[in-house]
Amino acid sequence: MKTRILGKDLKVSAIGLGCMGMSHAYGPAADKKEMTELLAKAVDNGYTFFDTAEVYGTPNNPHDNEELLGEALKSYRSQIVLASKCGIRFDETSPAVNKPLIPDGRPETIKASIDGSLARLKTDHLDLYYIHRIDRQVPIEETAGAMKELIEAGKITHWGISEADEETLRRAHAVCPVTAVQNRYSMMYRDYEALFPVLEELNIGFVAFSPLANGLLTAKYNKTSKFDAKTDYRSSMPQFTAEAFDKNEMLIRYLEETAKQKNATPAQISLAWMLAKKPWIVPIPGTRKYNRLIENAQAADVVLTDKEVEEIDRMLDTVPMSDVFGGSKVETKK
């Protein structure tokens, strides 16, 4: 697979693998043996960038995802870039399927979390470590300072912020250079394009999570698609309601037509579109299926011209579109 550089020098596959859905938010955790085999196949097919977090798990095993990756990828460790995250916990008192997040960016929390993640991921360092959400009760300078200490200690080599805004990013970067922001980005959620000039200025990469709008942009779902109300976030996402499928019909049709012209799939067009936007954007779609793993990887070979990207952007500015899931609610500490 083609590669890209995040920040100053972090080389990753042009398409990364978001591993959250193997353990969390998309139904019950997947079979460990199957996912272990899938992760090995990902490496065999050119994926070098694997994304997890300490909170991607189940009520019975809150750290399921890191444990999965640690075991599955330990023999490939020297070939891959491992990214994880710290600094949030779920509000377990909430009955919602997508429980609110409680951020904790205190240096002591970060320093305690890294040791747990390293143990579960069976490694002596992480290549990229994110603060998972910004804690507005802790100055970002303190969080950045803790990350700087982890770099100096050799526990991480690069750090980043998930769901960053410009002001926070600038302040954090002044303390310890930020390698990447990991923000939501897709054809249906383009809010963070406003951040691109700052990222270019500061030489910070953009890791796009939910690049397929939680799967909607694969064009494989319809009004009859069912999701478990207890374990699958999609059961409460606005883009998966019956009304939303009606509203998004033109968008999906346009994607399908464009894909046909390029001998590609709608998902590949979605990913190729953001790859064409900037050379430092790296999408991290997730999957539990081998055919999707290959389909997503091959999106790196789909080339869109500047004119084609402009046409897609014009379409996105004008075509009807439903609301799209914007993330779990962030609460203050309890």
Active site residues: 56
Residues 6 or more apart from 330 whose CB is under 8 A from it? 100, 101, 102, 103, 133
Distance CA 280, CA 195 (A): 13
Burial 183-206 (b: 16+ CB within 10 A, else e): bbbbbbbeebeebeebbeebebbb
Cα 171 from chain centre: 23
Residues 6 or more apart from 177 whose CB is under 8 A from it? 7, 8, 202
Residues 6 or more apart from 26 whose CB is under 8 A from it? 20, 232, 233, 234, 286, 288
Look at strands 180-184 and 159-162 and give their pairing: parallel
Residues 6 or more apart from 75 whose CB is under 8 A from it? none
